[in-house]
Amino acid sequence: MANTYTQIHIQFVFAVKFRDGLIHSSFKDELYQYIVGIIKNNNHKLLAINGMPDHIHVFIGMRPTQSVSDLLQDIKGNSSKWINEKKFLKAKFEWQEGYGAFSYSKSQVNSVIDYIKNQEKHHAVKTFRDEYLEFLNLFEIDYDDRYIFKEPT
Protein backbone atom coordinates (compact mmCIF):
# COMPACT_ATOMS: atom_id res chain seq x y z
CA MET A 1 0.00 0.00 0.00
CA ALA A 2 1.39 3.36 -1.02
CA ASN A 3 2.02 5.84 1.77
CA THR A 4 1.83 3.18 4.49
CA TYR A 5 4.75 3.27 6.89
CA THR A 6 5.02 1.07 9.95
CA GLN A 7 7.44 0.00 12.63
CA ILE A 8 6.03 -3.03 14.42
CA HIS A 9 8.35 -5.24 16.49
CA ILE A 10 6.79 -8.35 18.01
CA GLN A 11 8.24 -11.21 20.04
CA PHE A 12 6.32 -14.48 19.82
CA VAL A 13 6.70 -17.21 22.41
CA PHE A 14 5.18 -20.66 21.91
CA ALA A 15 5.72 -24.09 23.41
CA VAL A 16 5.82 -27.74 22.46
CA LYS A 17 2.61 -29.57 23.39
CA PHE A 18 2.68 -30.69 27.03
CA ARG A 19 5.96 -28.73 27.32
CA ASP A 20 7.87 -31.82 26.25
CA GLY A 21 11.51 -31.12 25.43
CA LEU A 22 11.22 -32.42 21.86
CA ILE A 23 13.23 -29.79 19.99
CA HIS A 24 16.48 -31.71 19.85
CA SER A 25 19.82 -30.17 18.98
CA SER A 26 20.04 -32.63 16.07
CA PHE A 27 17.36 -30.70 14.12
CA LYS A 28 16.95 -27.41 16.03
CA ASP A 29 18.91 -25.30 13.52
CA GLU A 30 17.00 -26.80 10.58
CA LEU A 31 13.72 -26.06 12.35
CA TYR A 32 14.73 -22.47 12.99
CA GLN A 33 15.69 -22.03 9.33
CA TYR A 34 12.34 -23.49 8.27
CA ILE A 35 10.50 -21.02 10.52
CA VAL A 36 12.67 -18.17 9.18
CA GLY A 37 11.58 -19.20 5.67
CA ILE A 38 7.91 -18.97 6.66
CA ILE A 39 8.49 -15.51 8.14
CA LYS A 40 10.30 -14.28 5.02
CA ASN A 41 7.69 -15.83 2.69
CA ASN A 42 5.09 -13.75 4.54
CA ASN A 43 7.22 -10.60 3.97
CA HIS A 44 8.17 -10.06 7.59
CA LYS A 45 11.72 -9.44 8.83
CA LEU A 46 13.35 -11.86 11.26
CA LEU A 47 15.23 -10.13 14.06
CA ALA A 48 16.00 -13.16 16.28
CA ILE A 49 15.03 -16.77 16.85
CA ASN A 50 16.11 -19.11 19.62
CA GLY A 51 14.67 -21.27 22.31
CA MET A 52 14.96 -24.31 24.45
CA PRO A 53 13.92 -27.92 23.85
CA ASP A 54 10.36 -27.09 25.01
CA HIS A 55 9.70 -23.62 23.56
CA ILE A 56 10.75 -21.00 21.01
CA HIS A 57 11.10 -17.21 20.94
CA VAL A 58 10.75 -15.48 17.56
CA PHE A 59 11.27 -11.71 17.22
CA ILE A 60 10.24 -10.03 13.98
CA GLY A 61 9.64 -6.75 12.26
CA MET A 62 6.04 -7.36 11.21
CA ARG A 63 4.35 -5.98 8.12
CA PRO A 64 0.70 -4.96 8.62
CA THR A 65 -0.46 -7.12 5.69
CA GLN A 66 -1.15 -10.18 7.85
CA SER A 67 -2.71 -10.75 11.25
CA VAL A 68 -0.68 -12.08 14.15
CA SER A 69 -2.97 -15.10 14.47
CA ASP A 70 -2.66 -15.97 10.76
CA LEU A 71 1.14 -15.74 10.91
CA LEU A 72 1.35 -17.93 14.03
CA GLN A 73 -1.05 -20.46 12.53
CA ASP A 74 1.21 -20.61 9.47
CA ILE A 75 4.40 -20.94 11.53
CA LYS A 76 3.09 -23.51 14.00
CA GLY A 77 1.01 -25.54 11.53
CA ASN A 78 3.62 -25.78 8.81
CA SER A 79 6.59 -26.33 11.12
CA SER A 80 4.88 -29.18 13.00
CA LYS A 81 3.90 -30.76 9.68
CA TRP A 82 7.50 -30.38 8.48
CA ILE A 83 8.93 -31.96 11.66
CA ASN A 84 6.56 -34.93 11.29
CA GLU A 85 7.28 -35.37 7.57
CA LYS A 86 11.03 -35.33 8.27
CA LYS A 87 10.48 -38.00 10.96
CA PHE A 88 12.83 -36.30 13.39
CA LEU A 89 10.88 -37.89 16.25
CA LYS A 90 9.30 -41.28 16.82
CA ALA A 91 6.14 -39.70 18.23
CA LYS A 92 3.91 -37.12 16.56
CA PHE A 93 5.12 -33.54 17.12
CA GLU A 94 2.63 -30.80 18.02
CA TRP A 95 2.86 -27.25 19.33
CA GLN A 96 0.81 -26.40 22.39
CA GLU A 97 -2.29 -24.37 21.68
CA GLY A 98 -1.84 -20.63 22.08
CA TYR A 99 1.13 -18.28 22.11
CA GLY A 100 2.38 -15.04 23.58
CA ALA A 101 2.86 -11.95 21.42
CA PHE A 102 4.65 -8.95 22.91
CA SER A 103 5.32 -5.65 21.15
CA TYR A 104 8.42 -3.47 21.57
CA SER A 105 9.60 -0.01 20.62
CA LYS A 106 12.61 0.60 18.36
CA SER A 107 14.73 1.50 21.40
CA GLN A 108 14.13 -1.97 22.89
CA VAL A 109 15.03 -4.03 19.80
CA ASN A 110 18.69 -4.71 20.66
CA SER A 111 17.95 -5.77 24.23
CA VAL A 112 15.20 -8.15 23.05
CA ILE A 113 17.57 -9.67 20.48
CA ASP A 114 20.21 -10.15 23.19
CA TYR A 115 17.63 -11.72 25.49
CA ILE A 116 16.55 -14.21 22.84
CA LYS A 117 20.13 -15.08 21.91
CA ASN A 118 20.85 -15.94 25.56
CA GLN A 119 17.97 -18.32 26.26
CA GLU A 120 20.20 -21.04 27.70
CA LYS A 121 21.66 -18.58 30.21
CA HIS A 122 18.21 -17.29 31.28
CA HIS A 123 16.79 -20.77 31.73
CA ALA A 124 19.69 -21.89 33.86
CA VAL A 125 18.07 -19.80 36.62
CA LYS A 126 14.44 -19.34 35.55
CA THR A 127 11.81 -21.83 34.38
CA PHE A 128 9.88 -21.24 31.19
CA ARG A 129 6.67 -20.82 33.19
CA ASP A 130 8.30 -18.15 35.39
CA GLU A 131 9.66 -16.40 32.31
CA TYR A 132 6.26 -16.46 30.59
CA LEU A 133 4.42 -15.17 33.67
CA GLU A 134 7.00 -12.41 33.95
CA PHE A 135 6.20 -11.34 30.36
CA LEU A 136 2.45 -11.40 31.02
CA ASN A 137 2.84 -9.34 34.18
CA LEU A 138 5.35 -6.90 32.66
CA PHE A 139 3.03 -6.25 29.72
CA GLU A 140 0.00 -6.09 32.08
CA ILE A 141 -1.83 -8.84 30.20
CA ASP A 142 -4.83 -10.36 31.96
CA TYR A 143 -4.65 -14.14 31.86
CA ASP A 144 -6.37 -17.23 33.20
CA ASP A 145 -3.89 -19.45 35.04
CA ARG A 146 -5.72 -22.56 33.78
CA TYR A 147 -4.40 -21.78 30.28
CA ILE A 148 -0.82 -20.90 31.13
CA PHE A 149 1.87 -23.28 29.91
CA LYS A 150 2.24 -25.79 32.73
CA GLU A 151 5.48 -27.35 33.89
CA PRO A 152 5.85 -30.90 32.59
CA THR A 153 4.96 -33.63 35.07
Give pLDDT tens digits for 92-129.
Answer: 999 999 999 999 999 999 999 999 999 988 888 888 88
- CA distances (Å), 12 to each of 46, 90, 107, 124, in order? 11, 27, 18, 21
Instruction: Tell whether 25 is covered by a domain.
Output: yes
Within-domain flag for 3 = no
In which domain, by residue range, is 115 found?
Answer: 9-147
pLDDT of amino acid 74: 98
- Nearest-angstrom CA–CA distance, 59 and 102: 9
Question: What pLDDT, on the 0 to 100 scale, is given for residue 29?
Answer: 97
Say if 1 falls within a structural domain: no
Q: Does residue 134 lie within any of the structural domains?
A: yes
In-domain check, residue 87: yes
> Within 10 A of 49 (CB to CB), how many other CB atoms are there?
19
Instruction: Output the pTM of the full model.
Output: 0.90
Confidence of residue 152 (pLDDT cuts 50, 70, 90): low
Q: With respect to residue 81, please indicate whether it lies within any of the assigned structural domains.
A: yes
Residue 138 burial by Cβ neighbours in a 10 Å radius (0-12, 13-18, 19+): exposed
Share of the chain above pLDDT 70, in %: 96
The Cβ-side half-sphere exposure at 79, using a 13 Å CA radius, reads 27
CATH number at residue 124: 3.30.70.1290
pLDDT score for 120: 86
Q: How many domains does the chain have?
A: 1
Q: Is 142 inside a domain boundary?
A: yes
Asked whether residue 153 is domain-assigned, the answer is no
In this prediction, residue 7 carries a pLDDT of 93
